[in-house]
Amino acid sequence: MVCRTLFGSRTTFYDWFDYIMYLRSDQVAPKKLLPFLFFAVVLSSLSGAEQNQDPVGITIRFFDRRVYYLAESPIYVQVTITNNGVDTWRFRMADERAFTVDFDARTVSNRAVEAAQVLVRKRSTWQQVFFREIVVESGESFSFTEDIRDYVHFTQAGSYVIQAWLYPGLYRAGNTAGGAAEPSTPLASNRLALNLRPPSIPGPGGVPLEMDGETGAVLVRERLPPDEVIAWTLTARQKSQWERFFLYLDVESLITRDGGRQRQWLAESEEGRQRMLARYRQDLQSAVIDGDIAVIPSDFRIERTTYGETEGTVVVLERFRGLSDTFVERKRYTYTLRRRDGVWIITDYVVLNLGTE
């Protein structure tokens, strides 16, 4: 009876009291049962830890971490819902995500940042909320990406702490964190540290400025000739300096050079296009897509440069070493550039394989 009680899933204080009194009796030698008692206590603790584990976990991370400014590009955060339990878990994903998820931003002094006007307008306007039910099986995860600026209105540069709240049964007015337990009671995520820099200083002639992610220095799109723009970009790729690599790339033009992505781009809203840009940059860095332009050349030589008032081409012979360093692959790249606001930007490229040597 004692063993059954100790190894049960609902051991109480009275069970342990009865067992200790049993050890003190003359029927059992206490010293012989001390190892068993220790083993039982450990099992009970582990069982309690498993019971206290949250069945559903909400985690957030920056989708494309980089240098963020006060009032410029979106701040995309990926929200991941993981089912750690044994049962199937369901929640409602609204077409208007503001009724499924929310973001809380606070300063280092724990002062809450006011909500974005677009969020307040969506939640205060009478409307039908369309949603679909998402099923997350045990051990599975579901992720989606949101722009924090759609939820929080930042007015000052500085450091912030970001936390997400998920409403499984949709957001309802007055239903906030700490409210009564109901299907819409929000689930809290981990916290992220967000640093917002002051607005970037415009360069000469209105040329936008970029920030070097490695050194923190300001990168300016200078009025370089087309051949120097190509040399800058290839050198940055050799050194894996991604901010420098993207400085003279027209990412939108590179996305739309593929027919399928072009149709998707035309069908997307402005928010959707920004997500496509962020995803393309990440996939390019991960060598998932467009490997030709992201492959690191061992060396390169500019063969020919031609350009007019607004358009130009640069032909480059690039060499790539094999994995075993027993051969070198040769390719000829023809880069197309376009002049915008006095700055040459790479808009397209063509690759010709020349074999190995």
Q: Which helix (H) or strand (E) holds 30?
A: helix 30-52
How many CA atoms, within 13 angstroms, populate the side-chain half-sphere of residue 125?
Answer: 11
State which amino acid sits at residue 100: T
| DSSP, residue by residue, 65-105 | ---EETTSS--EEEEEEEE-SSS-EEEEEESSGGGTEEEEE
pLDDT at residue 69, rounded to an integer: 78
Please give the pLDDT value at position 274: 78
Q: What tokens were used for 191?
A: 């916290």
Q: If you search the block for the tokens 């607004």, which residue do you land on?
A: 310
Given a cut of 50, the residues of the chain with pLDDT beneath it are 1-10, 13-14, 26-29, 39, 41-52, 175-183, 203-208
Q: Tell me the HSE value of 330 on the side-chain side, using a 13 A CA sphere.
A: 6
Q: Which domains does the chain have, with CATH numbers?
A: 2-52 (no CATH), 56-197 (2.60.40.10), 204-356 (3.10.450.50)
- CA–CA distance, 109 with 128 (Å, rounded to integer): 38
Structure tokens belonging to residue 114: 């006011």
Please answer whether residues 202 and 208 qualify as being in contact, where contact means their C-beta atoms are separated by less than 8 angstroms. Answer: yes
Output the pLDDT for position 121.
Answer: 83
What is the per-residue pLDDT for 178?
37
Cα dihedral 17, 21, 27, 31, rounded to 10, equals 80
Predicted model pTM: 0.46
User: What is the C-alpha separation between 158 and 349, in angstroms, rounded?
Assistant: 40
